[in-house]
Chains A and B, each alone.
Chain A
Amino acid sequence: MATEARAARFTDEAPARAPWWERNLAWLLVAPTVIMFVLFAFIPSLTAIRYAFSRVRLTRAGITQEFIRFENFERAFDDPIVREAVGITLRWVGVVTLAEVGLGLLLALLMTQNIRWRALFTSLLIIPIIMPPVSVAIAWFFMYEINFGVFNYLLGEVGVSPVRWLSDVDYALYAMMAVDVWQATPFTFLLLYAGLLALPRDPYEAAAIDGATPWQIFRTVTLPLLAPILLVVTLLRVIDAARIFDKIWIMTQGGPGTSAYTMTLNIYIQGFRNLDFGYSSALSFLFQIVLIVIATVYVKRVMADYAAPRD
């Protein structure tokens, strides 16, 4: 009887509750990230948005803000340096993204062939990506140096006059783009190489049986299969290229003249040299909006085609 009673009591009782941390495990796991996001991204973003509509001054009483509606934005649209910076940034993004993705793809295709010392080449190709951008910029600055740089030395050896790599408005931006391409191409190469290795072999075998040429195989098999990875790599490079700052700042500080003034340089100068936090925030806000719009449209219009369920 006693045993039955105990059994009855046991079945009548509600099941024992899991401890609070187990019940809220999902929240606990994401909490550090959420807290960090709120503290270091969300709150500063709100502050920046508020600043963008204000004239911000640093006074003895602390940071003072005077609400000026859209004045900072109107100033941005009227500012010739901003218009120039937008054009330079677009040119930078277009050229370096195209070069980095194109070269990365070429290298990845090359490495999938049976070439000698493939492992060695792959290791060597990774070196630029692990170097700090600041060190890279300083090293290239000296290589481009007009009097003592290695490039002009080599040109001199074959009888070519020294080139003003970083001080001629016609060359400087492209010379700095070359540095970015040198450093970022290994990134695109790695992702595309991994993508190529993961492609199914069947379509290649079928194409070979059908007698397709290497170009036909690349165009009709490799490229379509690799397209999703190619598009992701392109998006990542576009976003990263648009944020270029370190290399240009170190090599020419946006020069010669203002021929390499990108948006990020302009935002930095307004914010941290001129202490014009309101205007700098407005420029930053506009820049973020443009990047978000580009990324969203790209993801929705281009990448969505590859996200659809397959038959």
Chain B
Amino acid sequence: MSDEDNGVSGSIPGAKLTRRGLLKQSAAVGAGAVAASRLGRAAAAPSPASQRYGRPRQGGGTLVMAFTSDDTAKIQPLLDDYSEANNVEIEVRQSPYDPLYTELNLNLSGGTGAYDVISMDDPWMPQFAGGEFIMNLDEMLAAAGAETADFVPELIALGDFPKGTGLRGIPWVGNVQVFAWRTDVLQELGLEVPKTWDEVLSHAQAITDAKQGEGLYGIGLRGVSGNAAATSFLPVLRGHGVDIFAADSWEPQLTTPEAMQAITTHLALAKLTPPGVETVTHAINGTNMYEGLTAMSADIWPDLLLQIFDPELSKVVGKVEVGGEPAQAGVEPLNMTGNWLLGIPEGSENAEQALDFILWFTAAEQQKRLLLEQNIPATRISVLEDPEAVEQLAFLPGLLAAGRNAFPRPRTNLYPQVEQIYGQYVAQAIAGQIDGEEAMTKSNDEIRALMVREGQLEE
């Protein structure tokens, strides 16, 4: 859909609102200004789009979007509302997670212009933003007078990649990994909320020893090879004071004493889970908690929290609290992000309308609707602190606190491969195919070989 097609026009008769026009206006506002405080004002304004831009828009045409299959059904009511208010037809092409990533890569690298709005998991940002597959939104946001002050700073920062170059994505799903625990169980056994991984391990052992007969186990984690095993292990690794890579280079750190201690702890924890940890996925880990099979988990995400706090589904409503991930003494606690962001691919012919949609969709009003009606966690502070929302979802303050500790996975476009490597060996160790030391050594060697092969590290 081009401006010519939809007849979008400015407030001055005959003046069309084009991307070029917007860029000129943005230059006047201050070229090069980062978008760090722009989205809120526009976001708070109601639909239709014309009211936010201060220009009448006639709408029309089609916006083509890409979302995961899971999200599409949930956001459909909002898409319908936007479509009706703006006279825009919205076509959503939905795919499961893996195919969506492949599909977007092929389309965006080919510059096909097939999509106007895409939904991206934050680990994809180095590939899409770093590769300049998606537009830098700074100037357009400035022109639209949008502000970002209301977003959790650590979450909006995910869209700024490479860091300091400008926003290329706006977060709409505030996924942050949290540590969750059963307050009733800890209280019954006289245990404090664990702060370190050593305490998590000793608590998990105590709970399993005391409650295994009743079908309750100390901890829940995921053991499926690849992303699942990696995502459960990363908070343990970081909680021991080491990351996958060194702070100042792409040198892997998995053979350090801290990493070896982390895998030892992780494998000990894996023995204190309900049977079958080797096949536990994201959904099953949540089910195990709301069915009352696990007393703690450091791999709980907001979508699971919404189930755990759902009285119609959960057996543990009112018995679970959430907070920051544990960390060994002297180590800064970090919560891993798994946000979804909206971006506009380079090659889109409908950038203005796409931006208008993104601003509307990520506004507080829509974020609250998504949270309360569709269980999609918000990325705005005002929504996470909204009294009505907090009354319904008691974990929101904990989620906001976790969001303020949020830290992304290593920001390299090779992360999917890195994650596959160490996720594979951690899963092998959990399944008993190899021991922890071998898992870390092999992971380190293969990740290093990958970084060398791809020219990010010298041999």
Which of chain B's residues has its CB closest to A144's CB? Answer: B279
User: B439 to chain A: closest CB distance in Å?
Assistant: 10
Task: Tell me whether B131 is interfacial, beta carbon within 8 Å.
Answer: yes
Cα A146 to Cα B428 in complex, Å, equals: 20
Interface readout for B77-99 with A: 1 if CB under 8 Å, 0 if not? Answer: 00000000000000000000011
Q: Given A59-B131, A258-B225, A269-B420: A252 and B109 within 8 A (CB)?
A: no
Contacting residues, chain B, for A145 (C-beta < 8 A):
276
Which of B46-54, B160-168, B429-437 forms contacts with chain A?
A: B429-437
Given A59-B131, A252-B279, A257-B428, A147 contacting B274 (CB threshold 8 A): yes
In the complex, the answer to whether A258 meets B99 with C-beta atoms within 8 Å is no
The answer for the CA separation of A259 and B431 in the assembled complex, in Å, is 9
Report if B224 contacts A (CB, 8 A). yes
Q: Please state if A273 and B226 are interface contacts (CB–CB under 8 Å).
A: yes
A81 partner, pick from B224, B275, B346, B424, beta carbons under 8 A: B424
**A60 with B133, Cβ < 8 A, contacts A255-B224, A269-B420, A274-B417 known:** yes
Q: Which of A162, A251, A256, A272 neighbours the largest number of chain B CB atoms within 10 Å of its CB?
A: A256
Chain B, Cβ-Cβ closest to A64? B109
User: CB of B106 within 8 A of chain A?
Assistant: yes
Q: Which of B109, B278, B417, B453 contacts A58 (CB 8 A)?
A: B109
Is A166 interfacial (CB-CB < 8 Å)? yes
B127: A residues at CB distance < 8 A: 58
For A273, list chain B residues within 8 Å (CB). 98, 101, 226, 416, 420
B276 touches A258 (CB 8 A): no
Residues of B contacting A257 with CB < 8 Å?
225, 278, 427-433
Which A residues touch B417, using CB under 8 A? 274-276
User: A61: nearest residue on chain B (CB-CB)?
Assistant: B109
Q: How far is the CB of B92 from chain A (nearest CB, A)?
A: 21
Residue A253 at the chain B interface, CB threshold 8 Å: yes
Cross-chain pair count, CB within 8 angstroms: 109
Report which of A55, A80, A146, A259 forms a contact with B276, defined as CB distance below 8 A. Answer: A146
The 8 Å CB contact of A253, one of B132, B225, B277, B433, is B225
Complex contacts, B99 vs chain A, CB 8 Å = 272
Report if A272-B102 is in contact (Cβ < 8 Å); known contacts: A58-B131, A146-B276, A253-B224. yes
**Contacting pair B225 A254 (CB below 8 A):** yes
Complex CA gap A252/B275 in Å reads 15
Q: Which residues of B contact A146 (CB under 8 A)?
A: 274-276
Contacts of B106 in A (CB 8 A): 58
B110: interface (CB < 8 Å): yes
- Any chain B CB within 8 A of the CB of A63? yes
* Given contacts A169-B433, A258-B433, A274-B420, A63 and B428 within 8 Å (CB-CB): no
Are A258 and B424 within 8 A (Cβ)?
A: yes
Contact assessment for B110 and A255 in the assembled complex, using a CB-CB cutoff below 8 Å: no
A-B contacts, 19 listed (Cβ < 8 Å): A60-B132, A62-B109, A62-B110, A147-B275, A166-B279, A167-B431, A168-B278, A252-B224, A253-B226, A255-B224, A255-B431, A256-B278, A256-B430, A261-B225, A272-B102, A273-B226, A274-B420, A275-B417, A276-B417
11 additional A-B residue pairs with CB within 8 Å, beyond A256-B431, A269-B226 = A58-B106, A60-B131, A146-B275, A147-B293, A162-B275, A164-B275, A167-B279, A169-B432, A251-B279, A255-B279, A272-B99
The 9 closest A-B pairs by CB, nearest first: A257-B431, A256-B278, A256-B431, A167-B278, A257-B428, A58-B109, A167-B276, A146-B276, A274-B417
